[in-house]
Structure 1
């Protein structure tokens, strides 16, 4: 099954198509040849030589770097592929970030409202740092704010703004639902999962590091079909964050008619 999934992933990514095509042709010729002289000898030799030619061609291709550009990158990759594109056709979005201020912009939230959340089974789950954990917030500020001279707002300010936005999103009259929780410390990464239970699921992990600009942080972009082991690891990380995070209490309501 893993072999079949790898072939499906290659075909969807338009990779190794010439090798798979020749393999099918050679296999078909071999099967037909078993029953006798149904295939002329010159056709058999043509298929064999074509297969050898494809192998020689692939041997001349430059070896790809381990990891590949399709896996490792930074935030500049989103200049070519806007963040809103991540959520096209998606039904399940899971996010962890200290504040998610750079992700949950007004434009992205509108994409979630009009795209993802219009489906009845859709869910958007978000975990942020708990603003009530003063020590954790102070440490996260040293790590994220002081190392980034280009930051336009501090972590506490950004966190407050995003929490207000999430409270508003939770009240949207959409068919899907929005949930969010608060985690007591920063584990050193941000995480976005799209349709994590599906084979086309995707995990984008941003490593925070120390003393580096936000835009210099390493991103790891994993597809379930191609990177099953580490994809499952990061899905498990979000599951842990969600299960141990503190649910946000709804705001207290005043007396009726107030």
Structure 2
């Protein structure tokens, strides 16, 4: 089953297509040869030589980056990916961050509104720090703001603005649903999940560290089909955050988007 899922993921990503096509052709020739002798010898040899040619071609390709170079990066590397591509075809987005201000900019929120949230079964779930936990916010501010001299907005201000933005998003009235909750402390990472229950799911983890600027933080980019164990770990992390976070009461009338 793991092999079939990998093949499906490669075909969806348009990778190794020529290898799979040639393997299928050779398999068909092998089956036909066993059942009957209707395939001429020259055709059989042509198929074998073509298969060898594909293998030789694959051997000449530069080796694909493995390990850390595929999985690890900093924020600049992930910012190179256009936001619409990150959410292309996605119906389940889950976010945890102390304020989420760096991710959920007005542009990204509008992208979510016009793409993901246009699907009736779509959900966007966001967890941020609870502003009522003043000591936790103070510690998080010391860790995140004071280590970055280039911050344009302090954590408490960014958090307040994000809560107002999330309240407006929840009142959009889109086919998809926006929900958000408040967590009592900063566990030291930010997390973005896209379609985490599907095989093409993706998890991007930012590790905060200490004494380093925002753009120097390590990012770990995991996919379910290639990093199943640690991918599942981070999905469970979000599930824990969501289940233990404080729900935000819906006011009698949500703020309307201006």
- Residues in 1 aligned to 2:239 and 2:138: alpha-carbon distance in whole angstroms: 25
| Matching residue of 1:109 | 109
Q: How many angstroms apart in 1 are the aligned matches of 2:12 and 2:240?
A: 31
Aligned to 1:246: 246
Per the alignment, residue 194 of structure 2 pairs with 194
Instruction: Report what 2:93 is aligned to.
Output: 93
* Structure 2 counterparts to residues 64-213 of structure 1, below 5 A: 64-67=64-67, 69-213=69-213
Shift of 1:135: 2.2
Q: Tell me the CA shift for residue 121 of structure 1.
A: 2.2
Gaps of 5+ in 2: 254-258
Shift of residue 163 of structure 1? 0.8
Q: Report the secondary structure of 1:76's partner residue.
A: helix
The TM-score normalised by the length of structure 2 is 0.89
Q: CA deviation at 1:120?
A: 2.5
Q: Decide whether the 8 Å contact of 1:87 with 1:194 is kept in 2.
A: yes
Q: Distance in 1 between matches of 2:24 and 2:118?
A: 42
Shift of 1:200: 2.3
Which residue pairs with 1:32 in the alignment?
32
**Cα shift readout 1:190-241 (whole Å, capped 9, x = no counterpart):** 1111222222222111111222221122222222233222222211111010
Structure-2 change in CA distance of 1:235 and 1:79 (3 Å): closer
Q: Secondary structure at the match of 1:107?
A: helix
Alignment-derived partner of residue 233 in structure 1: 233
Q: Alignment length, in residue pairs?
A: 253
Residues 79/241 of structure 1: CA separation in 2 closer, same or farther (3 Å cut): closer
* Worse overlay, 180-189 or 221-230: 221-230
Q: How does 1:40-59 map to 2 (within 5 A)?
A: 40-59=40-59
Residue 79 of structure 1 deviates from its aligned partner by 4.3
**For the Cα contact (< 8 Å) 1:9–1:226, is it kept in 2?**
no
Deviation at 1:98, TM superposition (A): 0.5
- Offset from partner CA, 1:123-158 (integer Å, 9 cap, x none): 111100111222222221122111112110111111
- Looking at structure 1, the residues matched to 85 and 15 of structure 2 have their Cα atoms a distance apart, in angstroms, of 22
How many angstroms does 1:2 deviate by?
A: 1.3
- CA shift, 1:161, in A, is 0.8
Moved more, 187-196 or 55-64: 55-64
Whole-angstrom CA distance in 1 between matches of 2:213 and 2:186 = 17
Structure 1 SS opposite 2:75: coil
Taking the aligned partners of 1:14 and 1:56, their CA distance within structure 2 comes to: 20
Are 2:23 and 1:17 aligned?
no
Shift of 1:68: 5.9
RMSD of the alignment, in Å? Answer: 2.0
Higher mean C-alpha deviation, range 122-131 or range 170-179: 170-179
- Normalised by the size of structure 1, how large is the TM-score? 0.89
1:223 is the counterpart of 2:223: yes
Judge which range, 66-75 or 46-55, deviates more.
66-75
| Greater Cα shift, 61-70 or 238-247 | 61-70
**In 2, Cα distance between equivalents of 1:161 and 1:193:** 23
In 2: Cα distance, 1:169 partner to 1:226 partner: 33
Alpha-carbon deviation of 1:252?
7.9
